[in-house]
Structure 1
């Protein structure tokens, strides 16, 4: 029996006034898949994800997660779905007034208020260990580097044991080496927690390292999709433009093969 996709978007339309951002996007994501979405700024990548979890209301279309069309759910029903989904935001979105421990505790208690203090501590340490930052447990966000903030943000994402993770520009603002480390962490998380992921990025190295499949959005529609290698070898000039800068670094030490 064929397995149903864990995410199914069909004919998604979204406009803001006269600005038609999405013009009939359709895509599916299989369980355990890491899907990368690429596109120029303003192409609607983040809008599609926000519609998918109900942060924005779609103008038209079917948006199914775990086999349920979220456009037909009330607030309480939608929140039940969201409890199974993790988000890693572009800026980290940590609370500046809370330590790393407090940030993770807040997230855990928000999702599962029945946990004992012992269980909370155990899960915090496990999440921080998964991103290699146990030693930062009592630091404040102001004491962390950009790369460390990304790691803590990822720890906060996985601490709720999500089945799906949405990554919004996970390597933005990072140097090449740190960005590569974050990409490796995304792969490690997928392997350890068996997550399904959608990764929105402009970083072609991140796309190459993390994506089982890549979708390019242009003018509100899916322009092309395939593996990194398939798209890299495309004869289409617009598609090739995404890979030009990356190929300049291909000979650099440590570049992923």
Structure 2
């Protein structure tokens, strides 16, 4: 059953109760450093899950495990119903192409224009597209992030907020079903951070994406998250909505909301 949630800025939040990601008891160590200690969580179709935690709590490692960039020592990671821990690299790549990853620094190629950055990404995965189709898709995705005028700019000519938007455009051009955001508002001013948070919600509504958002930015967490989990020393210490966790009896949990 689809449950409509309270609209935020006119955007209706939807929970379909259908997990697209199920992580079960994953463990990961680097030498004697135990980073993940039996982490279990799920993400429903169309849901934005925010992951909070102090530095070193395992947040970034957890999402890298979801796309096979880091191999777990033990546990199960079901993505679209398939346990990716049992896949070879070719099978894993078929899953990865359905997942978008927005890195902290947007990871643009500095020697390429915006058009070339987006075209390079698209042509790597859709080799049969004509030049006209590539150009149309580039223009469409730039319009969706509000930066049509930046098509011929170089990354060095872009502000931090614009780089984030172009990085997001490069993720969206492959039409992912899941998006992993790693600190999407880091280094941005308050107004630009709010704009990126609103864009995350617009993408959720328009493309029906499921997302995991790692952030230290509490306004971003409040604005974008349908649900929040908090990692502490490699385990999930708390889970709930922003409002529930803000009122937690646990002093450590409440410290995130001060």
TM beyond 0.5:
yes
Cα distance in 2, alignment partners of residues 148 and 218 from structure 1: 33
Count of paired positions: 244
Number of the residue aligned with 1:242: 256
Number of the residue aligned with 1:253: none
Q: Does 1:54 align with 2:50?
A: no
Tell me by how many angstroms 1:144 deviates.
Answer: 0.3
Tell me by how many angstroms 1:235 deviates.
Answer: 2.1
Cα distance in 1, alignment partners of residues 125 and 185 from structure 2: 26
Number of the residue aligned with 1:220: 234
SS in 1 for 2:75: strand
Number of the residue aligned with 1:250: none
SS in 2 for 1:6: strand
Cα distance in 2, alignment partners of residues 111 and 213 from structure 1: 32
TM-score normalised by L of structure 2? 0.93
Tell me by how many angstroms 1:219 deviates.
Answer: 1.1
Number of the residue aligned with 1:91: 105
Give the aligned CA root-mean-square deviation in angstroms.
1.1
Number of the residue aligned with 2:198: 184
Give every structure 1 segment of 4 or more consecutive aligned residues whose post-TM-superposition deviation is greater than 6 Å: none
Cα distance in 1, alignment partners of residues 84 and 181 from structure 2: 20
Tell me by how many angstroms 1:52 deviates.
Answer: 1.1
Tell me by how many angstroms 1:3 deviates.
Answer: 5.9
Q: Deviations for 1:188-227, whole angstroms, at most 9, x for unmatched residues?
A: 1111111000000000000000000000000110001000
Cα distance in 1, alignment partners of residues 173 and 163 from structure 2: 15
Number of the residue aligned with 2:59: 45
Q: Does 1:172 align with 2:186?
A: yes
SS in 2 for 1:154: helix
Cα distance in 1, alignment partners of residues 162 and 174 from structure 2: 19
Unaligned runs of 5+ in 2: 2-15
Matches within 5 A, 1:19-168: 19-168=33-182
Tell me by how many angstroms 1:45 deviates.
Answer: 0.4
